[in-house]
Amino acid sequence: MMQSSTPTEEGWRPSFGLGPAPARTERWPLMLVASDSMELSRKAARWELNRRDPVAIERSNLINISKLVVKELMETSVPFGRMLDSDHVPLQHFFIVLEHALRHGLRPKRGLLGPKKELWDVLQTVERLTSEAADITTSVRDLPTVRTPLGRARAWLRLALMQKKLPDYVRLLLENQQVLEEHYEPGALMLSEEAIHVLGLLVGLNVIDCNLCMK
């Protein structure tokens, strides 16, 4: 048998009369390429779905507005030594936006006579999750001039912020999805992944001291 030589990347090697050695080609891992392609497709599909979903648009708008309001609040608190009262307009804006975020997707009442879910119902559940919240909830219930569920919810949020407990209580709610599902419809901000952004904004506000009047 006649032995011939064939050039390769490593040098010359004998082919033993079997013809030229096959050319070497680079091969990408097909599974890796397919996996990356599928992940990009899933992300694109989610983006397209969110772009068309009005509820997703509402959530996105609430998050963006919340970021702007908190940024304004932090910046305007500096000249006051981070000590604010009820008359501080950016703080008023913050509570308005926070209320809208927490009320987003609350379940409507069932039937003509069924009770409608209120934000106050959600906030009252916090004392079942931690005994620390019992004092705030009891104080709000005992306020003589605050009788409506919405008024009590607003007072509760203000007391929690003054005590620097608001982020902790919101975190407890987010960690108990079963409790939230009793009060919110699917697609609500508090049941979505975006809720973590709200929590992050609240944590940043612990550097502010508030002295708020409960009316």
Q: Cα separation of 156 and 95, whole Å?
A: 11
Angle value at C-alpha 185, between 201 and 98, nearest 5 degrees:
25
Residues 136/153, Cβ–Cβ less than 8 Å: no
Least confident of 12-21, 46-55, 106-115, 157-166: 12-21
- Which percentage of the chain shows pLDDT scores above 90? 68
Q: Which tops the pLDDT comparison, 206 or 109? A: 206
The pairs formed by 137-146 with CB atoms below 8 angstroms and a separation of 24 or more are 143/214, 145/215, 146/214, 146/215
pLDDT at 7 over 90: no
Q: What integer is the mean pLDDT of 71-76?
A: 96
Does the pLDDT at position 193 exceed 90?
yes
Which burial class, exposed, middle or buried, applies to 73 when counting CB atoms under 10 A from its CB (0-12, 13-18, 19+)?
buried
Here the tokens at position 194 are 């975006």
Q: Which residue has the higher pLDDT, 191 or 35?
A: 191
**CA torsion sign, 200 to 89 to 188 to 149?**
positive
pLDDT at 9 over 60: no
Which H/E stretch holds residue 8?
strand 5-8
Please state, in angstroms and as integers, the Cα–Cα distance from residue 113 to each residue in 88, 93, 116, 118, 148, following that order.
Answer: 40, 34, 9, 15, 18
For the chain, give every domain's residue range.
61-211
Q: Which CATH number fits domain 61-211: 1.20.58.900, 3.40.630.30, 3.10.110.10, 2.170.130.10?
A: 1.20.58.900
H or E segment and range at residue 95 = helix 89-103
What is the per-residue pLDDT for 45? 63
pTM: 0.74
Give, in degrees to the nearest 5, the angle at Cα 6 between 5 and 7: 125
Contact 117, 185 (CB under 8 A): no
